[in-house]
Structure 1
Amino acid sequence: MTENTTGAAQTAATAVAELPRTGWLRVRASDRAMLANLERQYGLELHIATQHPVYVAGFTILPIELPLPAPTEAGSQRETVFESARIVVALTDDLLITVEPDHPVAALATAQLRVEQLPEAASSREALLLIIDGLNDAMQNTVDRTSLLLNQLASDAVDSSGGYRFEGRQVGVADIAQTAVSLGGAEELIARTVQGQLMLERAARRVRRASGGSSAAYSTLLSDIQGGRRHARFQHSKVRNIQQSLMTTLDLKQNQIIKVFTVVTAVFTPPTLIAAYYGQNFANMPELALPWGEWFVMGTTAVFALVPLAYIKRKRWLR
């Protein structure tokens, strides 16, 4: 199985050269000249986005869109960022064409090494199976990284239930909101992963149908894809559980805030009523003429303030 890759230096030559009829032809999505040549010689308009498999000019067109880790510099410590990698596969019995993103896709590089080991008589479908298998492994890597992120978010959710961070400050509503935003991003990533796995499974089924057989290789590949999708859906369930835990914690914190205001209101309402009474300036207030009248009013105010507080503490409403 031969492999051909178009680069910037080859663009001018490939624009007019006769394209191969066998092997694996890799094309960059930004190579407009090569895409125009594919349209001219094969009748393929691979630059037009499509979401469903189609049959054009004897080719089976299979769109695949996957969330893959963005390339990072060696030794970089920044958080892994996932980018959407759109790959368009055009397939006949002898020729395999892939339109790939401009940035390198590690899964395709690994698949290329495996394809090069195939015998010359190998069909394009066998090469595509190796490519799908490599992309499925990349999807599993994405799910594994998401699982590690969810473990950290689960720890944050536990901290938000009333614990403290390493800085010594109590976790507040802002921390819960930040964790919820991160969970939303993880949920979106998992949804895109499941969608990508469905595209891989659909591509594998199309290839098996076109080959007219049901070999063990197809069955094993489909089982691997379905197992990865079940793992991704399990991670999605974990996201929902953490989100539910966060919402419960947020409700509890809001209830605690309301409880504090309720206790303060209960303690200060009696003194407020007494102050309002003596602020009326009635003409006849005999207790004001008593030598101990001021202390009497102050003591009464204190008693009426402490009685609700003692009752609240007795009922343990402050816990």
Structure 2
Amino acid sequence: MQDNTESSVQLETNQLPRQGWLRVRASDQIMLGNIHRQYGLRLDQPVKHAVEEQGFVLLPLDLPLPDREPDAQAAASFSSAEILIAFTPELLISVEPDHPIDALRRAQNLLARSSAAPTSRDALILVLEELNDAMQETVARISQVLTNLADQAVDSSGGFKMEGRQVGVADIAQTAVLLGGAEELIARTVQGQLMLERAARWVRRGGGEVDFDYSTTLSDIEGGRRHARFQHAKVRNIQQSLMTTLDLKQNQIIKVFTVVTAVFTPPTLIAAYYGQNFANMPELALGWGEWFVMATTALFALVPLAYIKRKGWLR
């Protein structure tokens, strides 16, 4: 087994291995050229789906893996890892991004400590297991982010934050944007787990009996995908809660304007009546006429307000 991710030493064509695990950086054009000359593989070109070429099976993987230092925001805690795997029953080649991937490093360390010489199938199963564990960490961090967003949604539903300021539409919109980013990340996670599952099934096509390690790996990948879909359902529930809260706030605003209109409409009618230029208005000759109009106006304003309060429309 040979690791080319730690150095960019040029190897001659006859030095490339015929078995084990060969790790290559995607930017190492010298090594990729040597692979093309010896094996006939063009691994510097994008591969969209699993294909067979020159006796190798090519499997592309695009996985959102967690960064080493967790962050409170989902967009800052994950990085995309595009990995191209080419394998035969004798040789496993992995074309990796320039930034280190802890899951592949752990898989290589485990293979190095193995007493028996690992086959390419054993190496591939171990790689898939470590990548799946990293994806499980991705889902766990997504779950933590969704818990924080759910708390924000509860604050929005409550109507007031701790400082007493009423939660507005802008606060709800900000939470909705963060939920949209989390939903996109979950979709990428599910897609990555489907790629892992497809790679695991190609191991079985490569020959050999289905053993315990393969069945366990495939079961773990499927379980991780179900966990990711559960997180997607949580996103949908939080989004529905936010939309319900937004509808309630809009209805509350309309209700306030309706109450204000109902209270001030009778005084407005009285003011409009006494603002007319009638020739004969007996109330103007009364000494207490002004107080009578003011009392009537207040009464007509308080009656609808009392009715609205009695019906509980102000809650």
Query: If the length of structure 2 is used for normalisation, what is the TM-score?
Result: 0.94
1:267 and 2:263 are equivalent in the alignment:
yes
Report the 3-state secondary structure (helix = DSSP H, G, I; strand = E; otherwise coil) of the residue aligned with 1:143. Answer: helix
1:5–1:26 contact (8 Å) kept in structure 2: yes
What is the Cα-based RMSD across aligned positions, in Å? Answer: 1.8
1:228 and 2:203 are equivalent in the alignment:
no
1:4 and 2:3 are equivalent in the alignment:
yes
Query: What amino acid does structure 1 have at the position aligned with 2:53?
Result: V
1:18 and 2:15 are equivalent in the alignment:
yes
1:15–1:33 contact (8 Å) kept in structure 2: no
Q: Which whole-Å deviations, capped at 9, do the CAs of 1:144-177 have from their partners, x for residues lacking one?
A: 1111111111111111112433434232221111
Query: What amino acid does structure 1 have at the position aligned with 2:229?
Result: R
Q: Which whole-Å deviations, capped at 9, do the CAs of 1:219-277 have from their partners, x for residues lacking one?
A: 11111111111111111111111111111111111111111111000001111111112
Corresponding position of 1:174: 170
Pick aligned residue for 2:107 from 84, 107, 111: 111
Q: Where in structure 1 are there 5+ consecutive unaligned residues?
A: none
Q: Which whole-Å deviations, capped at 9, do the CAs of 1:161-202 have from their partners, x for residues lacking one?
A: 124334342322211111111111111111111111110010
Map 1:1-319 → 2, pairs under 5 A: 2-7=1-6, 9-10=8-9, 13-14=10-11, 18-72=15-69, 79=73, 80-119=76-115, 121-319=117-315
2:51–2:58 contact (8 Å) kept in structure 1: yes
Query: How far has the Cα of 1:8 moved from its partner?
Result: 5.2
| Percent of paired sites with the same residue | 68
Give me the whole-angstrom Cα distance separating, in 1, the residues matched to 2:162 and 2:299: 42
2:13–2:38 contact (8 Å) kept in structure 1: no
Query: What amino acid does structure 1 have at the position aligned with 2:49?
Result: H
4+ residue runs over 4 A deviation: 6-9, 76-80
Between the two proteins, the alignment pairs up a number of residues equal to: 313
Aligned pair in 2 of structure 1 residues 201, 28: CA closer, same or farther (>3 Å)? same
Query: How far has the Cα of 1:18 moved from its partner?
Result: 3.5
1:111–1:131 contact (8 Å) kept in structure 2: yes
Aligned pair in 2 of structure 1 residues 15, 283: CA closer, same or farther (>3 Å)? farther
1:62–1:88 contact (8 Å) kept in structure 2: yes
Query: How far has the Cα of 1:9 moved from its partner?
Result: 4.3
Query: What amino acid does structure 2 have at the position aligned with 1:305?
Result: A
Give me the whole-angstrom Cα distance separating, in 1, the residues matched to 2:163 and 2:214: 53
Give me the whole-angstrom Cα distance separating, in 2, the residues matched to 1:199 and 1:273: 72
1:14–1:37 contact (8 Å) kept in structure 2: yes
